[in-house]
Amino acid sequence: MDQIIIQTLHGLVNGMVLAMVASGLTLIFGIMDIVNFAHGDLLMLGAFVGATVVGVTGNYWLALVVAAIVIAVLGALLQITTLRPLIGRDPLTTILATFGVSLVIQKYALWQWGPSVRRISEPVPGEFTLFHLQYPWYRVATAVLAGLILGGLWLFLKYGKYGIWIRATTQDRVMAQAMGIPVPLVYTAVFAIGSAMAAASGVLFGPFAGVTQTMGFDFTLRAFIVVVVGGMGNLGGSILASLFVSLLESYAAIVVSPAQAVIVSFVVLVLTMLFRPTGLFVPTPK
Amino acid sequence: MTATPAARPRSPATGYWTAFAVVVGLLIVAPLVLPPFWQRFATEILVWGLLAMSSDILIGYTGMVSFGHSAFFGLGMYGAAAALLTVKPPSLGLALLYGLVTAGAAAVFVAYFATRLRDIYFAISTLVFSQIFYVIIFTWTEVTGGENGLTFSQPRLTIPGLWSDRFTPVTFHWFVLAVVVLSYLLVRRITQSPFGMVLQSIRENEPRTRAIGYPVERYKIVAVMLSGLFAGLSGVLYALQNKFAAPDFVFFVVSGEVVIFNVMGGMGTLVGPFAGAAFFLLLREGLSRFLTEYYLIPLGIIFIIMIIFLPQGLLGFLRRRLNT
C-alpha cells in the first residue's frame, strides 16, 4: 500500500515533466506537421546548458531561463536552416532531417561536455516523510513548476495575440496567411517555443537522474508515445496521456524492473494506434 | 512507375547487365587485391548494403519508412547465435535457417500491427516494436547474455556431400557476395513481378489501389515480411563475420543508419542502398581517422544537406534505368 502511494506520487511527478517535453513536441507537430526527432536532444542540450550555468553561477532559476532562451534561439536557427526548405515535401523527410539534427547535436554534446554524467544540484532543499520513506521536496516543486509553465503556455495559446496566431495557423494555414498572419514566422516561433519547452524540461529533469548526452533518445521516444496516445497536436490530451503513461509505468515498476516497465508504455501506444488512432484523451471525431 | 514490359526498350537492359557483370566481377576480385583491412571493409559494405536493400523494399517500393529494421537485423544475429550455440557441430545452414525464421517471425508479428498504420505512425510503431525487442534482449540476460551479448565460433563452409572447409576472409567475402547477389536478383525479380507492381501502386496511390480491389493490408504485411527476412539474412551474415551477437545491433541507431543509407544512395533503386552504405561507411572511415567518434557531426550535416538538395540520393537519377 505504501509502495502504491509512493509510486503514484512518483508517476505524477515524472508525468508532469514528461508532459512538458511532450507539449513542445505536440505543438510542433500540430502546427507544422513535423515529427521532431531531435526533440529529446534539444532537451539534453538544454540540460547541459543549464548544468553549465548552475556550475558557474550556482543559480538554478537563472539556469532554467538561460537554457530556455539559448535553446529557443538554436531551435529557431535550426528551423530556418533545415526545416524551412522542406516545407511542402513529404512529412517523412522532416523525420529524416530532424534525425540528422539529432545525431549532430548528440555528438556535439559529447564533444563539448564529455561522456560523464553531470548533476544539477537540487533547487529546493529538504525532504518530507511519507510513511517510512523520505521524499525530496524538489521533486514535488518540479512537478508544480512544470504545471505552472504548462498553464502559462495554455493561457498564452488561448488568450495571447501570438497564441491566437499560432492556433489560427494550426487550424488553416492558407486562411491564416490570407488574414495577414506571417505564417513562416509563426513556424519559426513555434519551433523556438517547442525547443524552449524541451530545454526547460531538461533543466527540470536534471536533478532527478543527472544529465548525459544519450538521454535524448529516451525522451524523444516517450514524448512520441505520449503525443500519439494523447492525440497528435492536442495539448490537453498529451498532458493527460503523460500522467497516464507515467503512472502505469510507475505501477509496473513495482512488479518488474524499471527497464522492463518501459514496455508497458510501448504496449499502450500500440493498442492506442490500433484501436483509437486519434488518441485516448480527445473527443471522438465526428 | 508507368513502365510496362511491352514499352521496355532493348538497349538499356543490355547496358544494365554489362554494368552488373562488371560490378560483380570487381567485387569477386576485390578480396584478392585489397589489403586485409579493406577486404573486411568490402565484406561489411555488402552486409550493410543487403540490410539497406531490404529496407528499400519498404521505403522505396511500398512507400513505408521503417525505423525498426534493427530488430530484424538483430534477431537474425541472435537466431544465428542460437543455432551455433545449441547445435553441435555448428552448421552454417542451420544458422541461416534459424536466423531467417526468427527475423521472419518477428517481421510478421510487427507487420500485423504496424501495417494498419500509415506514414509517420508506421515509422513510429516500427521504432517502438524494435525498442520492445531491444528491451527484451537487453534484460533477458539468461538467454541472450544481456548487455554482453553472445559469442560463438564460426561454422565451417559446407556444401553437403561436396566440400567442407574453414572460412578464410577471402572465401567468406565470396560467400557473402554470393548471398548478396542472389538476394539482389531475387528482390529485383520480386519488385518487377505483378506483386511488386502492386506494392509500387500502393506507394503511388493507396486509396486507388484499394479501390481497384487489392487487399492492401495483406500486400503490406507480405512486403514487411520479405523485408524482415532479408534484413535477418544480413544479420546472420554480420553475426557470422564477427562471431558475436550484441544488443547494440537491435538498438535504434542501426535502424537510423539503414534509413541514412537509403536516403544517401537513392530510394527505390535497390542498388542505391548499397551505394549509400558504401558512401556512408567510407565517409565514416575517412572522417573518424581525424575526428574519432565525432565523425557523426560532419556526417550528419552532409546527410541533412543531401535531404534538402539531393532528395533522390546518389543514384536517384538512375532510377528509371535500374528498374527496367
Mean pLDDT of B250-274: 86
Residue A45 CA to residue A55 CA, distance in Å, equals 15
pLDDT tens digits for range A118-130: 777 777 777 777 6
What is the pLDDT, as a whole number, of residue B159? 67
Mean pLDDT of A86-93: 78
| Grid cell for residue B284 | 565514416
Confidence of residue B37 (pLDDT cuts 50, 70, 90): confident
Q: Do A107 and B300 touch (CB under 8 A)?
A: yes
Confidence of residue B49 (pLDDT cuts 50, 70, 90): very high
Type of residue found at B81 = A
First and final CA of chain B: distance in angstroms? 10
- Whether omega before B5 lies within 30 degrees of 0, making that bond cis, reads no
Q: Which residues pair with B164 in a beta bridge?
A: B158
CB pairs under 8 A between A and B: 100
Q: Do B301 and A263 touch (CB under 8 A)?
A: no
* pLDDT surpasses 50 at B3: no
Greatest mean pLDDT range, B81-85, B227-231, B259-263: B227-231
ipTM score above 0.85: no
| Grid cell for residue A251 | 505501477
Nearest CA to B259 out of B291, B222, B290, B227 is that of B227
Residue A281 CA to residue A278 CA, distance in Å, equals 9
A43: Cα separation from own chain's centroid: 7
Spell out which residues of chain B touch residue A103, defining contact as CB-CB under 8 Å: 256, 296, 299-300, 303
Mean pLDDT of A58-70: 88
Spell out which residues of chain A touch residue B129, defining contact as CB-CB under 8 Å: 266, 270
Confidence of residue B101 (pLDDT cuts 50, 70, 90): very high
Confidence of residue B1 (pLDDT cuts 50, 70, 90): very low
* pLDDT surpasses 70 at A65: yes
What is the pLDDT, as a whole number, of residue A70? 93
Placement of cell 513502365 in the chain: B3
**Chain B residue with the nearest C-alpha to that of A268:** B128
| Residue A229 or B162, more confident | A229
* pLDDT surpasses 70 at B71: yes
What is the pLDDT, as a whole number, of residue B2? 46
Name which of B121, B127, B304 is nearest A82 (Cβ-Cβ): B304
Strand B244-245 relative to strand B150-151, pairing: antiparallel
Percent of chain A with pLDDT over 70: 97
Helix pair A258-275, B92-114: axis angle to 10 deg: 50
A282 within 8 A of A231, measured Cβ to Cβ: yes
Mutation target for B interface from A78, A99, A106, A266: give the one with most B CBs within 10 A: A99
Q: Do B300 and A96 touch (CB under 8 A)?
A: no
Phi, psi of A127 (to 5 degrees): -140, 160
Name which of A97, A103, A266 is nearest B132 (Cβ-Cβ): A266
Mean pLDDT of A49-66: 86
B311 CB within 8 Å of a chain A CB: yes
pLDDT tens digits for range A214-273: 888 888 888 888 888 887 767 788 888 888 888 888 888 888 777 777 788 888 888 887
B107 within 8 A of B235, measured Cβ to Cβ: no
B131 CB within 8 Å of a chain A CB: yes
The pLDDT mean for chain B works out to 84
The three-state DSSP-derived secondary structure of chain B is: CCCCHHHCCCHHHHHHHHHHHHHHHHHHHHHHHCCHHHHHHHHHHHHHHHHHHHHHHHHHHHCCCCCCHHHHHHHHHHHHHHHHHHCCCCEHHHHHHHHHHHHHHHHHHHHHHHCCCCHHHHHHHHHHHHHHHHHHHHHCHHHHCHHHCEECCCCEEEECCCEEECCCHHHHHHHHHHHHHHHHHHHHHHHHCHHHHHHHHHHHCHHHHHHHCCCHHHHHHHHHHHHHHHHHHHHHHHHHHHCEECHHHCCHHHHHHHHHHHHHHCCCCCHHHHHHHHHHHHHHHHHHHHHHHHHHHHHHHHHHHHHHHCCCCCCHHHHHHHCC
pTM: 0.85
pLDDT tens digits for range A176-228: 888 888 888 888 988 999 999 999 988 888 887 778 878 888 888 888 888 88
B301 CB within 8 Å of a chain A CB: yes
pLDDT tens digits for range B304-320: 888 888 878 777 676 66
Q: Is A180 helix (H, G, I), strand (E, B) or coil?
A: coil
Mean pLDDT of A265-284: 78
Spell out which residues of chain B touch residue A218, defining contact as CB-CB under 8 Å: none
Name which of B129, B131, B301 is nearest A104 (Cβ-Cβ): B301
* pLDDT surpasses 70 at B186: yes
Q: Measured between alpha carbons, how far is residue B276 from residues B18, B250, B313 in Å?
A: 21, 21, 8
B66 CB within 8 Å of a chain A CB: no
For chain B, the structural domain boundaries read 33-254
Q: Do A221 and B128 touch (CB under 8 A)?
A: yes
* pLDDT surpasses 60 at A148: yes
| Grid cell for residue B251 | 538498438
Spell out which residues of chain A touch residue B293, defining contact as CB-CB under 8 Å: 107, 110
Spell out which residues of chain A touch residue B127, defining contact as CB-CB under 8 Å: 221, 224
Q: Measured between alpha carbons, how far is residue B246 from residues A116, B84, B151, B256 in Å?
A: 23, 15, 9, 17
Stretch among A16-25, A91-100, B156-165 having the lowest mean pLDDT: B156-165
What is the pLDDT, as a whole number, of residue B105? 92
